[in-house]
A and B are shown apart, each in its own frame.
With several copies, the nearest count.
Chain A
Amino acid sequence: MKAYPWRYSLALLGLVLLFNAIFTPGFLAIEIRDGRLFGSLIDIFNRATPAALLALGMALVIATAGVDLSVGAIMAISGAVAAGLVVQPPDFLLHGMGVQPVAVAMSLAVLAGAVCGLFNGVLIGFFRIQPVVATLLLMIAGRGVAQLLTNGQIITVPGDDFAALAIGTTLGLPNPIWILAAMALFFGALTRLTAFGLFVEASGDNPTAAHYVGINGKSLRLAVYTLSGLCAGVAGIIAASNIKAADANNAGLYLELDAILAVAVGGTAMTGGKFSLVGALIGAVLMQAVTTTILTRGIGTEVTLIIKALVVVAVCLLQSPSFHETLRRRRTA
């Protein structure tokens, strides 16, 4: 393991921004409009928040040599709970709970996300179901649950209260960026100031050894998947707040893949045993920067996915020791 596993993605992020700075006039400009900062850079960070939030949880999950495929579906559930509790549309499954204030509804939605994560954790930690399979289940069934909740309707939330979370700003910066920062600090403290991070790495690195030194793999996995679910819950309310609606079919769709890519691009090995939260964040921002670049440059639809894939290949190649070795051999030969 080298230090700064994310150095290549940071470099590539720099390149992408440089490219934009040169070819897209006004890309780096940040203006103040109505007391809020405004510009493409801000957009990139703002848009990257859901994936970055998921990537925080995913980094821990992957460090335990697991994976959480259900986070996209959990986002849909969380969004449905939040919007549903605020609006209480006629067929809403939880209509027994009555209309709730926005803050309560959102807290309950995050809680719902954590509960989903806990469910994964029980399957994986206690029943030792393989992570891919266990979270695949919620990935598939979770959207069904979200649809059951909303009775298949898009729940639109009128008014601005609900939207404030994602659209409002604090000190000029969009709220999601602050939320992400707070969550990142929380995760950073949890993993550096306590032994939690160490335990996570140890149990992903060598579960037997972890067991021998007294780490309780079950509760650890429970905690990690619950945290991942919590992140998904938060990402879910941000996504719902952003479009002022809960869309069970599309909220968070494919976002689990983005999160996994962000973690991988950030230099964390899928085989577990090490993680880098900073890397995960950089990875998420890099992926979003590429997307935004493609969008602002108006590059055609089919090619978009291919370009994104190429960027990931580039980072992964740069991170791969065998690639460097091949290069070196070529050069000396």
Chain B
Amino acid sequence: NSGDTAKAPEGGGAAPAKPEAGKKLVVGFSQIGAESDWRTANTESIRSEAEKRGVDLKFADAQQKAENQIKAIKSFIAQGVDVIAFAPVVETGWEPVLREAKDAGIPVIVSDRRPDVPEDLYVTFIGADFVKEGEMAAEWLAKKMDGKAKIAELTGTTGSAPANDRAKGFRNVLANHPEMEIVFTQTGDFTRAKGKEVMEALLKSPQGKDIKAVYAHNDDMALGAIQAMEEAGIKPGKDIIIVSIDGVKAAFEAMVAGKLNCTVECNPLLGPYLFDAIEKVAKGEEVPKRVVIEDKWYDESTAAAELPNRKY
């Protein structure tokens, strides 16, 4: 019974694929969908960066369906790409397919959301930190309001990771500010129309009179809320302070117009970060397990200068 057959080194990050010199690097990227401006900018950044670096990018859109994404990854494996990257639609259910990738010796890079799998199944996770974003929003607001405010929160789609984390981060900071209080929280489903409707109702409710600040989990809901305030004769950005997350172009325009006070940028332009990592992995260099894309916040004072740079 000879059990000492030589074992190949474990796959994944430890055994990067080595494309032959001169041959184009082939990367498969599975995107969530095209559900928002933010996502489109994200896609655009990845596509243009690939072009710039002369990488052969196989791009697949999953239309918000995890199943589609699993199939796409399987097909990347079948095609034998050099590196697989993907932004998971949901957090769960990735283990089998990632194990397949690992067995096939193809390294995987995750962007955007961290999948719920053992860490050895992917090389690195590149993306923003939603909790951190919530914390930044709260910190900015606490400073602006001198630690004292009744706040209305417009949450994202119930149960989604950004909604959960952005709520959590915000509350982490609020714990240090006893006089900052969330008096109203309702979901706006990450959409303008819902954000507007919720704010409209809130402004007419008994709590509505005391609201001094609004925290929206994304810009779209904040933009809807701003419209509702204007229609109610309330000056957004003055009578009620508004902070939101994402940093889309329309939010900057609103800030320039003085209607929105602050947006925490959740930077979608991760193309450069992604391909830095991909090239390193392809060369067999070490990459950290977590690459955090630094989020910045912009408020009325910095918005005007930034606006011309906004592509999305």
* Most chain A CB neighbours (cut-off 10 Å) among B89, B192, B202: B192
Question: CB-CB < 8 A to A304: which residues of B?
Answer: 61, 63, 68, 187
9 further A-B contacts with Cβ under 8 Å, apart from A251-B193, A295-B60, A305-B63, are: A152-B39, A243-B90, A243-B196, A244-B93, A245-B91, A245-B92, A250-B191, A295-B68, A296-B205
B164 lies within 8 A of chain A by Cβ:
yes
Of residues 64 to 101 in B, which have CB atoms within 8 Å of A's CB atoms?
66-68, 71-72, 74-75, 78, 89-96
A301 to B194, alpha carbons, bound, how many Å? 13
CB neighbours of B20 from chain A (8 A): none
> Is the C-beta of B160 less than 8 angstroms from some C-beta in chain A?
yes
Residues in A whose Cβ lies below 8 Å from that of B187: 301, 304
Q: Mark B199-223, 1 if CB is under 8 A from A, else 0.
A: 0111011110000000000001001
Contact A243–B93 (Cβ < 8 Å) = yes
Q: Are B155's CB and A295's CB within 8 A?
A: no
Return B29 CB to nearest CB of chain A, in Å. Answer: 11
Q: Considering the chains assembled together, what is the distance between the CA atoms of A147 and B157 in angstroms?
A: 11
Q: Which A residues are CB-close (under 8 A) to B164?
A: 152-153
Range of interface residues on chain B? 35 or more
User: How distant is A27 from chain B, measured CB to nearest CB, in Å?
Assistant: 8
Q: Which residues of A contact B158 (CB under 8 A)?
A: 147, 152, 249, 301-302
Cβ-defined contact, A295 with B92, below 8 A: no
Decide yes or no whether B4 CB sits under 8 A from chain A.
no
Say whether A243 contacts B201, CB under 8 Å. Answer: no
Q: Does A40 contact B (CB under 8 A)?
A: yes
Q: Which residues of B contact A214 (CB under 8 A)?
A: none
Is B67 in contact with A153, judged by CB distance below 8 angstroms?
no
Report B210-240 residues with CB < 8 Å from chain A CB. Answer: 220, 223-224, 227, 231-233
A251 CB contacts on chain B under 8 angstroms: 193
> A39 on the interface (CB 8 Å rule)?
yes
* B-contacting residues, A242-258, CB 8 Å: 242-245, 247-251, 253
Name the B residues within 8 Å of A34 (CB-CB): 233
- Which residues of chain A are within 8 angstroms of B58 by Cβ–Cβ distance? 298
Q: Is A330 an interface residue (CB 8 A)?
A: no
Task: Answer yes or no: A167 CB below 8 A from chain B CBs.
Answer: yes
Asked if A98 lies at the interface with its beta carbon under 8 angstroms from chain B, I say no
A38 interface residue (CB < 8 Å to B): yes
Is B197 in contact with chain A by the CB < 8 A criterion?
Answer: yes
Contact of A244 among B34, B75, B92, B207 (CB under 8 A): B92
Q: How far is the CB of A256 from chain B (nearest CB, A)?
A: 15
A154 touches B90 (CB 8 A): yes
B204 touches A26 (CB 8 A): yes
Whether B306 is near chain A, meaning CB under 8 Å from some CB there, is: no
When chains A and B are docked, how far (Å) is the Cα of A305 from the Cα of B72?
A: 16
CA distance A33 to B203 in the complex (A): 14
Across the interface, which residues of B come within 8 angstroms of A301, CB to CB?
Answer: 33-34, 61, 63, 155, 158, 185-187
Q: When the two chains form their complex, are residues A247 and B68 in contact, meaning their CB atoms are under 8 A apart?
A: no
Chain A nearest CB, measured from B211 CB (Å): 11
Q: Does A291 contact B (CB under 8 A)?
A: yes
Whether A250 lies near B89 (C-beta < 8 A) is: yes
Q: Is B173 located at the chain interface by the 8 A CB criterion?
A: no
Chain A interface category by residue count: 35 or more
B251 CB → nearest A CB, Å: 11
Check: A205 CB closer than 8 A to any chain B CB: no
Tell whether, in the assembled complex, residue A154 and residue B36 are in contact, meaning their CB atoms are under 8 Å apart: yes
Most buried by A among B58, B75, B190: B75
Q: A25 in the interface, Cβ–Cβ < 8 Å?
A: yes
Q: For residue A150, which residues in chain B have a CB less than 8 angstroms away from its CB?
A: 159
Known: A147-B158, A156-B116, A242-B93. A247 touches B191 (CB 8 A): yes
Q: List 23 A-B contacts (CB under 8 A).
A: A24-B205, A26-B206, A38-B232, A43-B200, A147-B159, A156-B116, A242-B196, A243-B94, A243-B192, A243-B223, A244-B116, A245-B91, A249-B159, A250-B90, A251-B193, A291-B68, A291-B71, A292-B201, A295-B72, A295-B186, A295-B198, A298-B186, A302-B158
Q: State whether the Cβ of A321 lies closer than 8 Å to any Cβ in chain B.
A: no
Name, among A43, A291, A298, the residue most crowded by chain B CB atoms within 10 Å (CB to CB): A298
Residues on the A chain within 8 Å of B96, using CB: 163, 167, 242
Contact with A along B111-152 (1 / 0, CB 8 A): 000001000000000000000000000000000000000000
B181 at interface (Cβ–Cβ under 8 A)? no
Look across to chain A and name the residue whose beta carbon is closest to the beta carbon of B37. Answer: A154
A320-B116 Cα distance, complex, nearest whole Å: 47
Per CB-CB distance, the 4 closest pairs between chain A and chain B, nearest first, are A243-B93, A245-B92, A152-B34, A295-B201
Q: Using an 8 Å CB-CB cutoff, how does the interface string of A1-32 with B read, 1 for contact, 0 for none?
A: 00000000000000000000000111100000
Pair A300/B61 contact, Cβ less than 8 Å: yes
A47 at the interface (CB under 8 A from B): yes
Contact A156 B74 (CB under 8 A): no
Q: Is B295 an interface residue (CB 8 A)?
A: no
Across the interface, do B61 and A247 meet the contact criterion of CB distance under 8 Å?
Answer: no
Mask, A227-241, CB within 8 Å of B = 1, is 000000000000100
